[in-house]
Amino acid sequence: MAMTAGRTRRHVLKAVGASAAGALAAPYVKTAGSAGRLRLGVIDHWVPGTNEVLQRILSRWGETNNVEVTVDFITTIGNKLLLTAQAESRAGSGHDIYALEFQMVPMFKHRLVAVDDVVEDVISTHGPIADISRQAAFLDGAWKAGPSPASTASAATVARRDLFLAHAGIDLTEWFPAGDARDPALVDRWDWESFSDAAGALHAAGRPVGAAIAPVTDSSAWLAQLFASYGAAVVDESGDIAADSDAVREVLAYLTRLTEFMPDSVYAWDDASNNRWIISGAGSAIFNPPSAWAVAKRDNPDVARHLWHCDAPRGPIGRFRAFNSVFWGIWDFSENQSAARDLLRYVAEPEVVVATLEASQGYDLPLFRSHYDRTRVWAEAGPPVGGLYNYALRGDERTVTDGYPAPPEIAARISTQRVVPNLVARVTQGGDSFDDAISWAENELEGVLRG
Amino acid sequence: MRVLPPLLRRKPAVAVLMCVPLFALILGLVAYPFFHALFLATLNKAETAFVGLDNFTFLFGRQTFWMVVRQSLLFALVAVVFKALIGLAAAHAINTIPTKGQRKWRGMMLIPWVIPPALSTLGWWWLFEPTYSAINWGLTKFALPAVPWLSDTFWARFSIILVNVWVGAPFFLIMYLAALKSIPGELYEAADMDGAGPWQKFFYITLPMIRNIIAITTLFSIIVTLANFDIVRVLTQGGPLNSTHLFATYAFRVGIESGDIPLGAAVSLFMFPMLAILAFIILRNVRRRAASLA
């Protein structure tokens, strides 16, 4: 090829070198398959403003790669995300990429394209993925979905530091400081019994703690961490019914005491009720990601500045936090799977993860441990500054999902049929004996396990 | 002048042709879904093998399913009785108003029935909201205790029945009003001359004359009420303690939300034989009465 006037070999080599360096540094390598259209169904984020940032990131990727990207933000309230997925999977049409909460991957694995190449690439670049996330999406020897850049969250204890100090004598900022200088003795004292004692004091002061015990996701989440911390399971690792156990009875006995200090309305709460409740100032603690705090910051700053995110209380077996890993899967009917794979690879890049994480004000938890060190949002978000520090897992907490420790397919059905919240409510609200409630759960679990 | 083709000049052929859209609708929207549901109900959970009636026998062993059966019947019976009583009383009341003023009352009374139930139920949900119920706010202003509308099993059942009655009573009202207007005035005049009182006129003229409408309306309402979905879905999602699940919402929970479509289909088909028998008996009686009147 002839050189044009004014352009030397040195110029060309320099340009090629620069572009090669750029390519190496570029976080994303486009394959020949991108182009065309991509339709995404993703979770309508709980934190205001996050959708817009994600939309911008995706649109920019689309423009760069000549892909027409359309994004639908679908709420999880009323199970709409799951219902839409059911409709699309049965109809064999809809979005190309779809957001899947942890229990949805096993449910729809037969309609999801394996994305081993994408996820293994990401793992090789960014290190291991969280175990709890691997359990949810690595099924039958293949990755059925890749990590979502947004909406993964955990159910931290979100408590009013002023009320806990005034009525329960617990200085949460001392027990769970915004830094690594934790006092192990104080942390160790944060168990379900001390939580119950605090709940009693707060109830007496007219500012009770609250957590849903209703057929909704929030119920399943906090009860999963409580059950796990007592070693209680309704179905064990091998898929056998295990509800009739001393551990389950122990949890039910504990909940009988704890629910005395909760409002009766928890039996009818939906996934937004606990948020509304603590934002209004009526409650003193809930189990939730920082969406309640983020909305309180906007709607009721006086409450927001007292909200402190803490570890889950410890049980006899250990300390567990419910972790809802969110994935993006590619439907097998997608007509643009090549571009979809490219996009999945792109959204796992740290820059994207951190951008959505910061837009969500710390709500989103990365699935890769290595991504945690790329942001200071949990340390700096406020007010109160440091209130979110312990939302990111810092201590001895292990992560669980609803249905733990059952195999993923069974755990998903335990979750969607709300077996555990109903088991608990039968005792704490319905007044059933432990034996009757457990017998009911066993009967219900036969339906969950049927082939 | 264009001449119709010979086929279209035959009246039966034209009639059949004009019915084709209706047949297509019934085939596509009634027959196909029904037979597909029957087919699904005979498959295993993975929808890969024929299992006959196993899904139904499996359901019969589930405590929650029998609870749903009892609740659905309770819900339908109580709601239909109240809808019928309120509809009848309101129809009578409106029928006594001079014709000129009836229209606005008819219009107003129909409002609950014409609003999409999913929307109006959302309004009720705000009234019953577990923590910030507007009704409870009013009650507490008068130093009355708050009512656990949606969190207590009794009150949750009460709430869904109340909303169903509110939505459905206008249908009875309009049907009964039409029936009342079709009763010849001479019958009442003759009864007046014989010295009959209001209750006698009601029991010996009104009720017999609108009996067929009552039967058909009740049958229709039982079917629709048993199939109700939106009120429970919006208000309680079947809770607390599964105590407000109806066939439709339980089928939805099992089939759609939990991914067991065959079992969900079996739940939704469970009432079909009983409703079919009920419909057959009621419609046969209606036909006989109509024939005897003719």
Contact A269 B263 (CB under 8 A): no
pLDDT of A193 strictly over 90: yes
Q: What is the pLDDT of residue A15?
A: 43
First-to-last C-alpha distance (Å) of chain A: 67
CA distances from A263 to A77, A269, B76 (A): 22, 10, 31
Return all residues near A211 (Cβ < 8 A) that are at least 6 apart.
A218, A219, A222, A262, A266, A274, A286, A287
pLDDT tens by residue, chain B, 294 residues:
566 677 667 777 888 888 999 999 999 999 999 999 999 999 999 899 999 999 999 999 999 999 999 999 999 999 999 999 999 999 999 988 887 778 888 888 889 999 998 899 999 999 999 888 999 999 999 999 999 999 999 999 999 999 999 999 999 999 999 999 999 999 999 999 999 999 999 999 999 999 999 999 999 899 999 989 999 999 999 989 999 999 999 999 999 888 899 999 999 999 888 888 888 888 888 888 878 766
State yes or no: pLDDT of A203 exceeds 80: yes
What is the DSSP track for chain B? -----HHHHSHHHHHHHHHHHHHHHHIIIIIHHHHHHHHHHTB-TTS-SB-TTHHHHHHHT-HHHHHHHHHHHHHHHHHHHHHHHHHHHHHHHHHHS-HHHHHHHHHHHHHHHHS-HHHHHHHHHHHH-TTT-HHHHHHHHTTPPP--TTTSHHHHHHHHHHHHHHHHHHHHHHHHHHHHHTS-HHHHHHHHHTT--HHHHIIIIIHHHHHHHHHHHHHHHHHHHHT--HHHHHHTTT-STTTT--HHHHHIIIIIISS-HHHHHHHHHTTHHHHHHHHHHHHHHHHHHHHHH-
Contact across the interface for A429 and B148, Cβ inside 8 Å = no
The residue-averaged pLDDT of A350-355 equals 94
B158 contact residues in A (CB cutoff 8 A): none
Interface residue of B67, B136, B241, B243 to substitute, partner A, most A CBs within 10 Å = B241
> Which of these, A451, A428, A398, A421, lies nearest to A154 by C-alpha position?
A398
**Spatial separation of the C-alpha atoms in residues A412 and A327, rounded to whole Å:** 15
CATH class of A33-152+324-376: alpha beta
Mean pLDDT (whole number) for A24-52: 75
Give yes or no for a cis peptide into A316 (omega within 30° of 0): no
Q: Is A218 exposed, middle or buried (0-12, 13-18, 19+ CB in 10 A)?
A: buried
Residue A79's pLDDT is 85
B-chain CB neighbours of A78 within 8 Å are 233, 237
What is the pLDDT at residue B7? 67
Contact B131 A282 (CB under 8 A): yes
How many Cβ atoms sit within 10 Å of the Cβ of residue A247? 18
Contact A265 B151 (CB under 8 A): yes
Instruction: Identify whether the C-beta of residue A310 lies closer than 8 Å to the C-beta of residue A390.
Output: yes
Contact, A330 vs A111, CB < 8 A? no
Q: Give buried/exposed letters for A177-214 (b at 16+ CB in 10 A, else e).
A: bbeeebeeeebeebbbbbbbbbbbbbbeeebbbbbbbb
pLDDT 10s digits, B34-71:
999 999 999 999 899 999 999 999 999 999 999 999 99
Name the residue in chain B with its Cα closest to that of A77: B234
**Same CATH topology for A33-152+324-376 and A153-323+381-449?**
yes
Query: In the sheet that A307-310 helps form, which strands lie side by side, from edge to edge?
Result: A285-288, A156-160, A307-310
Domain ranges (residues) in chain A: 33-152+324-376, 153-323+381-449
Domains of chain B: residue spans and CATH: 62-293 (1.10.3720.10)
pLDDT of residue A33: 52
The per-residue pLDDT for A3 is: 38
Cβ A307 vs Cβ A296: under 8 Å: yes
Q: Determine the pLDDT at residue A17.
A: 40
Does the beta-carbon distance from B132 to A269 stay under 8 Å? no
A443–B152 CB contact, under 8 Å = no
- Inter-axis angle of helices A246-258 and A217-229, nearest 10: 120
Does residue A20 carry a pLDDT above 70? no
Indicate if ipTM > 0.90. Answer: no
pLDDT at A28 over 80: no
A410: number of CA atoms within 13 Å, CB side?
23
pLDDT in tens, A205-246: 999 999 999 988 899 999 999 999 999 999 999 999 999 999
Q: B278, B146, B145: which is closest to B219 by C-alpha?
A: B278
Read off the pLDDT of residues A86-141 as tens digits, 9 standing for 90 and up: 999 999 999 999 999 999 999 999 999 999 999 999 999 999 998 899 999 999 99
pLDDT at B1: 57
Do A263 and B131 count as a contact with CB atoms less than 8 A apart?
yes
Give pTM, 2 decimals. 0.85
B151 has a chain A CB within 8 A of its CB: yes
Residue A323, CA atoms < 13 Å, CB-side half-sphere: 25
A319-342 pLDDT, tens digit each: 999 999 999 999 999 999 999 999
Distance from CA of B254 to the nearest CA of A (A): 7
What residue in A sits closest to B130 (Cα-Cα)? Answer: A265
In this structure, CATH architecture of domain A153-323+381-449? 3-Layer(aba) Sandwich (3.40)
Tokens 């960014």 sit at which residue?
A126
Query: For A408-438, how does the pLDDT look when each residue is reduced to its tens digit (9 = 90+)?
Result: 999 999 998 899 999 999 999 999 999 999 9
Q: What is the pLDDT of residue A16?
A: 38
Asked if A86's CB is within 8 angstroms of B237's CB, the reply is no
Instruction: Give the A-side interface with B, CB within 8 Å.
Output: 78-79, 82-83, 86, 90, 107, 214-216, 263-270, 273, 276-277, 280, 282, 412-413, 416-417, 422, 425-426, 429-430, 440, 443-444, 446-448, 450-451
Q: Largest Cα–Cα distance in chain B? A: 83
CA B110-B26-B220 angle, 5° bins: 35
Whether B257 contacts chain A with CB within 8 A: yes
**pLDDT number for residue A73:** 97
